Structure 1
């Protein structure tokens, strides 16, 4: 698509975003008691934000203009964060991670594919060079340590080598002989033509006709090329000759990947910044000195003395300088005093009310609960980001004339405005030092005061000392004398830092569940589909890890648990999170760390190293496979030597050390969660995702996809519907094993004359052990004991009572 098309997509997305923001201001400000209506409002907003997200991501990926991409990126982060906030509200409202909104999709005339969460491509593109270097370093360390699984090179026997050389030599001789015979044929043909010409002589009319044909063809081709070039310039798909300074290969490469022009742009930015410093630096310095000096005089006129100069940490002169008049400053001071008095009175009133509430009876408490039942949207961290991006779009890009900007590279005037602010900040630091000395001399000369730097310095030192005491065990720098590269190498050699498989989230095949809303209307909890699981992985795992802004301000998810039977793709989803975000993968499974870093100090050192490397080289994923072993109720005798419960007490400290700015996610996988102690288990894992076996629709899609992926051809003799029906109870892993067992190399060679039949898959499928109903019920019973499961069951019980009351 052309740049104009991507600009149109961006414009439409911004219009939809403005409409959605306006609707939120109208709907979400007033409290609402009807929970069904609230969920419908939230789900509708969630779907609309998802459509805006898809359009913005497509425009961001397609546009070449660097400043446009930066403007879209700001809004895109805001939309992603708002989607996560909406999801949190929907979970709190329904007490369930899975939502069924097919009736709303039907009203909006949308398909389930329209709410599929796209993975932003800039997660990988912006850090592609760093990720490639890290992958190369990881491969080198694994090869040096002998841990890299390489394809073994088969040793060739003497007879096989001789045969291969003979075949290659015979082929070479055959090619040479073919070239020689062709030359002989052309030579004979040429001699025959010359003999005929000598005998009969050339015909002048034929020669003139041939020359005319060649000339007319040449002239017509030139005219056509010129017309095509004029048409392309008119459509804006090509450049005029005087603007074709950039070669076609460079232009093509730039349109494919906009990141390639960043180095050139950075150099140009540095040049512009230096030029601005030379031309405007002196004027900026003089104006700043005059303004700060005037501010000192005005403050002394209002307060009666010169103000204290702010420190660098507080922002320097930027904090005291403002474009306000002295009257406005005085009014602000008076308003602050009034606010302080109001707060005191409110506190006193609250204390009195608390004393009264203790003496009141239960009837008043129940009445208060009924009053507080109204739902109101929680304050958002992303609405201001979206509004700021929208206003920036309207001010800069909406009505911008871009007819002259055929390159669509970057705007020099916008760069100058940004760099002018940076130059002003740099000069402000120098001016602060001069003006601070001038202020001290003024105070000494006029008021006879001295600065009190030493006292303030001592106070700050005391604060630092008290802050140091609060650092936890894992946050203490036990490896201050070592580099990150050495820690990285050690963790790789010990097998703690591993290489994830290259798997994308779209490879996790699963179909949308169309019966969810119908079942919930009759108070039956539906089994979630694999498409729902895929969405949760994108929301809780990939989107926060991929963007620093989203991770810092969105609802924080530090730990994620994937629970389900064997073969449902838990480890595959962990690899998909790492692949889509470019994250490091640390393996802290009980079987992997057994015998490594023994003792309490060794365990503390290992987790400290993992935490330090994960934070420094973020994003990172810490994976604990078979995580129920860490929280065993009773350790089996066969596993006592492995000491699987090593991490039980230190994992909460590990999570506590993770802050909002650290893009590190703890992911646990388990197929026997009921073997673990529930309370500490649910305390560590904030979000629990139950992954069921695939339903009929997902099995149908899976059979078809896996057969084609392994080289099979689907014909009328192969009944996919029958296979999907027969494989009820089997997981994705079972289906993959069956397909690979059938589609051997020999069977693939026989495919053209012997098509695949349904019966061929029955025998290998019968050898697999399915997921029995008893195991499914055990998983459901365990999930019902988790905090979210208990809340959901209470909500279902309330709805059942309400339904019985209505029927009576």
Structure 2
């Protein structure tokens, strides 16, 4: 925080690289703090501390999203690389992963279980199958007979070969029967030699395997968690149980202590507070010569008096606040007068005003970059102060619950003391006329404020389903196939490695392809954090719609299911196949939209709602935690202008690079039950599958690793050649398709901005070169003239 606030007061910066370094430094620091605070909030069992930590945690999450938005607006790119900064902070690429707060799901686990039961009951009641059946290809009789003949002839051939092999072995033994036999010592020596060689080779191989596992060159074959991991899991679950117990005790104690304090200590607290406030009145009168004004409820009321400040300091603070308010009033009045004068002179000064505007624009451009004010920094500062204050209270032996009841009684005392102070001023200062005018002014202001609030009221929309309950609407949406159960997929299950050459390639003016790790971070920042936290969604950058696009098989639907699983959100399927033939006509669409909004979610389909969709998206407010997610593998078939109006955030998911493919092969093979041995060359597989997506690799693994092949692994280890035939039957992502995605993304608003910025940088670079060349030529001419004079 000490480093963050000075940046708000510094002069505007013009160097884009320096600005990005500043933003990236803040981003990495907040990411580190976010991870630590999330761990603290998950493990601390003290209810009051957890509330303060939760406030700071939400502020840090929101600030992280704000910094990401700043970097996007600066670089005109959704993907950023921090290779050089990671080295300075001694961080690893794993530290860039955005942690998903566990309380998103854990604190509403009961509601999620009830919703799961209701969904299962509706599906069972309607007899609707949740899982999609895979179509089975029919086989002709001729094909079936041919397959049976092939397998039977192959079996007979194997039996005949085995029979002939046994006959040859018996013939060899019969011929060697007349040879000389070894004595007992020679036979024992031969047996010992073979056994000792086998034993030593096995020991050396075991030691080599342990060394390679220790160095991380070979993954450890560990299927069950270690005892230390089991113990850590038990401690975490025990702490979660203690958290629930302490929270229940805290809620009961709040009610009991409030009632006891109000009934027993309430009158004494009020009397002592009144005496302290009267004493403060007298001290201020002795110090300043007049009675002070009691602070308003907006400024903290009489609680600000007990903030360990002298009467002179408190009086000076309130005097400064009053002066600021008077200045604001005067400035408003002057602005109104100037506005009236400008309206009269507009027609005469149109040309002049245009010139002034142009100058103003150039001045703004020359000013450079400024950090936009944050909506979350005050929350973080307030939480830190609150935590520090509670620590001081516990050190002094005060209870926070007692402080709560104290604040309630303090509010009641404030009203009495304001009346008493008014009477004192009337008697001692003898300013009856002035006070009456002030009272009248304040009452007029209140009336005006009341009128303003009355104008903001909007007409209520008609309820098309007023006679129906939310349960019946939910059941109808489930039976029609709009509400589906998201698969239990974590965001960490989306496998992908970090791009280690991103910064190096950008410095060489080469735009690198984003990695799958970057995609995972964007889903966490744009989807999981805003949907999981109400505070982040309300006060952070509002994202109403998100588009996931890329070639088929890159994991778009997997990311969507992970987004719903991590936040506990309802998943509404609005694919064209689901909407086909349902709710026809304009009235049907209106009825569908009304049902969806009543269940607090948004459903629409792009082709049928091309004109309606942008209007409905505008109606989504920050307090409505709704996110429209679109997935497509052919975005270039749509009209780009209306498409980009709907989806402000577009994430282009690329095919996996070499590092991601290597990790994919290793993780998916282990998940499928394969034993990774030296004969299985993963590096060659990762190289061969360049251009294939995650879906292609998974399909090839599932084809090879059937139950029969898994049982044969001990006798016949897996090899890389076995995976080539199923891969050859699939079409990879060709360069033409990849170029089509790049060309389409360059026509999006963000792609156009980045292209303009790159063009401007090239022009500036060329101008700099020409100026440098001219200056060098002038220097050379000057040198030649001097030489001629010397001659």
TM-score, normalised relative to structure 1: 0.70
Distance 1:460 1:553, change over 3 A: closer
Task: State the distance in 1 between where 2:413 and 2:119 align.
Answer: 45
Per-residue deviation at 1:57?
Answer: 1.1
Per-residue deviation at 1:467?
Answer: 4.4
Task: State the distance in 1 between where 2:527 and 2:269 align.
Answer: 47
| Correspondence 1:131-170 to 2 at 5 A | 131-149=112-130
| Correspondence 1:343-354 to 2 at 5 A | 343-345=332-334
Per-residue deviation at 1:115?
Answer: 1.5
Match of 1:562 in 2: 548
Once the two structures are overlaid, the 10-residue window that deviates more, 540-549 or 322-331, is 322-331
2:363 maps to 1:368: yes
Partner of 2:630, secondary structure, is strand
Contact 1:586 / 1:610 at 8 angstroms: preserved in 2?
no
Per-residue deviation at 1:261?
Answer: 3.3
Task: State the distance in 2 between where 1:458 and 1:364 align.
Answer: 43
Distance 1:337 1:497, change over 3 A: same
Query: Which residue, 386, 390, 394 being the options, matches 1:396?
Result: 390
Distance 1:789 1:316, change over 3 A: closer
Per-residue deviation at 1:357?
Answer: 5.0
Once the two structures are overlaid, the 10-residue window that deviates more, 652-661 or 46-55, is 652-661
Match of 1:267 in 2: 252
2:734 maps to 1:772: yes
Per-residue deviation at 1:416?
Answer: 2.5
Distance 1:658 1:98, change over 3 A: same
Contact 2:270 / 2:409 at 8 angstroms: preserved in 1?
no
Contact 1:316 / 1:429 at 8 angstroms: preserved in 2?
no
Query: Which residue, 577, 597, 616 being the options, matches 1:611?
Result: 597
Distance 1:518 1:137, change over 3 A: same
Match of 1:93 in 2: 74
Query: Which residue, 32, 35, 60 being the options, matches 1:51?
Result: 32
| Correspondence 1:131-210 to 2 at 5 A | 131-149=112-130
Contact 1:292 / 1:317 at 8 angstroms: preserved in 2?
no
Distance 1:720 1:265, change over 3 A: same
Contact 2:496 / 2:515 at 8 angstroms: preserved in 1?
yes
Per-residue deviation at 1:611?
Answer: 1.7
2:514 maps to 1:520: no
| Correspondence 1:524-673 to 2 at 5 A | 524-614=510-600, 630=606, 645-673=607-635
Per-residue deviation at 1:613?
Answer: 1.1
Partner of 1:64, secondary structure, is coil
Per-residue deviation at 1:349?
Answer: 6.5
Query: Which residue, 21, 27, 30 being the options, matches 2:7?
Result: 27
Contact 1:699 / 1:724 at 8 angstroms: preserved in 2?
yes
Task: State the distance in 1 between where 2:445 and 2:322 align.
Answer: 24
Match of 1:498 in 2: 484
Contact 1:569 / 1:733 at 8 angstroms: preserved in 2?
yes
Task: State the distance in 2 between where 1:676 and 1:733 align.
Answer: 24
Contact 1:505 / 1:573 at 8 angstroms: preserved in 2?
yes
Instruction: Tell me which of the two structures has the higher relative contact order, counting C-alpha pairs closer than 8 angstroms and 6 or more residues apart.
Output: 2
Once the two structures are overlaid, the 10-residue window that deviates more, 46-55 or 259-268, is 259-268
Task: State the distance in 2 between where 1:457 and 1:734 align.
Answer: 68
2:332 maps to 1:337: no
Query: Which residue, 685, 696, 701 being the options, matches 1:734?
Result: 696
Task: State the distance in 2 between where 1:744 and 1:328 align.
Answer: 78
Task: State the distance in 2 between where 1:104 and 1:251 align.
Answer: 34
Task: State the distance in 1 between where 2:707 and 2:321 align.
Answer: 82
Task: State the distance in 1 between where 2:629 and 2:125 align.
Answer: 29
Contact 1:44 / 1:104 at 8 angstroms: preserved in 2?
yes
Match of 2:762 in 1: 800
Contact 1:623 / 1:668 at 8 angstroms: preserved in 2?
no
User: Deviations for 1:366-387, whole angstroms, at most 9, x for unmatched residues?
Assistant: 7425423x11100011111111
Match of 2:243 in 1: 258
Distance 1:331 1:543, change over 3 A: closer
Q: Cα RMSD between the aligned structures? A: 4.4
Query: Which residue, 373, 378, 385 being the options, matches 1:384?
Result: 378
2:763 maps to 1:763: no
Distance 1:684 1:250, change over 3 A: closer
Task: State the distance in 1 between where 2:721 and 2:81 align.
Answer: 37
Per-residue deviation at 1:799?
Answer: 2.4
2:410 maps to 1:415: no
Match of 1:107 in 2: 88
Per-residue deviation at 1:586?
Answer: 1.3
Query: Which residue, 57, 71, 84 being the options, matches 1:76?
Result: 57
Per-residue deviation at 1:801?
Answer: 2.8
Distance 1:735 1:794, change over 3 A: same
Q: How many residues align?
A: 638
Which ranges of structure 2 fall in alignment gaps of 5 or more residues? 134-233, 281-292, 306-310, 424-431, 771-791
Contact 1:508 / 1:534 at 8 angstroms: preserved in 2?
yes
Match of 1:700 in 2: 662
Which ranges of structure 1 fall in alignment gaps of 5 or more residues? 1-20, 153-248, 296-306, 308-313, 403-410, 615-619, 631-644
Contact 2:43 / 2:236 at 8 angstroms: preserved in 1?
no
User: Deviations for 1:521-550, whole angstroms, at most 9, x for unmatched residues?
Assistant: 121211100000000000000011111111
Task: State the distance in 2 between where 1:254 and 1:46 align.
Answer: 31
